[in-house]
Amino acid sequence: MEIERLGRTCGARITGIDLTDDLDTATIAQIRASWLKHRVLAFADQRMDDDALERLTLAMGGFGEDPFFDPIEGRKNVAAILREADEQSPLFAESWHSDWSFLRKPPSGTCLLAVEIPPIGGDTLFADQAAAFAALPNDRKDYLRSLTAIHSAQRGYAPDGLYGDNDKGRSMAIRPGKDALATQTHPLIRPHPETGEEVIFSSLSYVVGIEGMEEIEALTLLSELLEWQTREEFIYRHQWEPNMLVIWDNSSVLHRATGGYDGHRRELHRTTIAAA
């Protein structure tokens, strides 16, 4: 397994491994260690189908819960991130987020398998939130450590949310609902569940407030924080290739989609890895 660093703080390209092989415990441990170190792993030249994607997800920790997507036909745990060539709906997942951070136990990671990759555009951006926290001044770190964030899926998946009842013409099988109104708190600076590293666990997609703080004050703080979290020096811009599988550490990076491929179809298959 060869590892080539890609971004300034996170992201690595992995070659020399076939993920459709029966992976032994030592190899899985090596992948997990690289994953926690580089946060985003891009495995090139993989010929994986949905069976292989499911096997790898199980080996990495089992399936996470996916509350607002319907799976693809015949599968329980594989969803399609899909955009048709002529689709007019707003781009999916264009704002920064950590997947399903509003759950009590958010997934530890997400796997995305390239099925159909447009010749241009469609990069995925990742922002390293351990690096973003580490670079803050000490007094700011102390203040942020004292705060508890309120997470909710409401802005995206409630009936009146971005992907709710008024979202028409979308090819993805999104399943909005009233349960998106639920809230869940997490420390704003959340120790990484496996490494203990301090990570900024916040986005404007899923954080709707801060405990004990007026909403307007909280949103101002969260907006300013997000600008810091997504500074250029923390970002790895991932360019997709056919036959590529990407796994990211959902506890330590934010990610978002980008467009730029109008007129081309794009499809990736996605699983989440359960919390450790």
CB 81 → Fe ion: shortest distance, Å? 8
d(CA 79, CA 123): 19
Q: Residue 213 or residue 257: which is nearer to Fe ion going by CB?
A: 257
Give how far the C-alpha of residue 89 lies from the chain's centroid of Cα atoms, to the nearest Å.
Answer: 21
Long-range contacts for 179-182 (Cβ within 8 Å, ≥24 apart)?
A: 179/67, 180/68, 180/152, 180/153, 180/154, 180/156, 181/152, 181/154, 182/102, 182/152, 182/153
Binding interface with Fe ion (CB under 5 A): 93, 99
Q: Residue 206 or residue 261: which is nearer to Fe ion going by CB?
A: 206
Number of residue whose CB is nearest Fe ion: 99
Residues in a beta bridge with 200: 189
CB 250 → Fe ion: shortest distance, Å? 8
d(CA 188, CA 168): 34
Q: Residue 144 or residue 275: which is nearer to Fe ion going by CB?
A: 275
In 3D space, the residue among 153, 152, 147, 154 whose CA is nearest the CA of residue 213 turns out to be 147
CB 185 → Fe ion: shortest distance, Å? 21
**Three-class SS state of 149:** strand
CB 255 → Fe ion: shortest distance, Å? 6
CB 189 → Fe ion: shortest distance, Å? 21
Residue written as tokens 């599988």?
245
CB 25 → Fe ion: shortest distance, Å? 29
Q: Residue 42 or residue 93: which is nearer to Fe ion going by CB?
A: 93
Distances (CA, A) of 149 to 86, 183, 221: 38, 10, 11
Q: Residue 9 or residue 124: which is nearer to Fe ion going by CB?
A: 124
Q: Residue 23 or residue 124: which is nearer to Fe ion going by CB?
A: 124
d(CA 75, CA 32): 25
